[in-house]
Structure 1
Amino acid sequence: MRRISTTGAADPADSPEFGVRPGEATFPLPASPDAGVYFIGRLRTPWTHRRDCPKNGRESEAVCTVELDPALAPALEGLEGTTHLWLLYWMDCAPRDLVVQVPRSYGKGRGTFALRSPARPNPIAMSAVRLIGIDGNRLAVVGLDCLDGTPLLDIKPYFASTDSHPEAVVGWHRDRGAG
Structure 2
Amino acid sequence: MSKKRPASPAEPGWGRKPPKGTPPKNYTDDFSHSESSELEITMQPIGVVHSSYRERFAVPRQPSLDDPQSATIELNDGMNLDQAVKDLDGFSHIWVIYWMHLNQGWNPTVTPPRGPKVRRGLFATRGPHRPNSIGLSAVRLTRVEGRTLHIQGHDMLDGTPVLDIKPYLPYADAFPDASSGWVGETGVAAMKESINTGS
TM-score w.r.t. structure 1 length?
Answer: 0.76
Segments ≥4 residues shifted beyond 3 Å = none
Superposed, 1:135-150 pairs within 5 Å as 135-150=145-160
Q: 2:89 touches 2:141 (CA, 8 Å); kept in 1?
A: no
Match of 2:88 among 79, 83, 102: 79
Answer 1 or 2: which has greater strand percent.
1
Which of 56, 71, 74 is equivalent to 1:67?
74
Question: Which residue is 2:133 aligned to?
Answer: 123
- Could you list the per-position Cα deviations for residues 10-34 of structure 1 after superposition, in whole angstroms to 9, with x for gaps in the alignment? xxxxxxxxxxxxxxxxxxxxxx972
CA distance in 2, matches of 1:76, 1:52: 30
Report the residue type matching 2:71 in the other structure.
Answer: C
1:97 counterpart = 2:106: yes
Offset of residue 67 of structure 1: 0.9
Identity between Structure 1 and Structure 2 (%): 36
Q: Normalising by structure 2, report the TM-score.
A: 0.69
1:52 matches 2:58: yes
SS at match of 1:121: coil
Cα distance in 1 for partners of 2:77, 2:145 equals 11
Is 1:153 aligned with 2:189?
Answer: no
Unaligned runs of 5+ in 1: 1-31
For this pair of structures, how many residues does the alignment match? Answer: 147
Task: State the alpha-carbon separation in 2 of the partners of residues 130 and 177 from structure 1.
Answer: 27
| CA RMSD between the two structures | 1.8
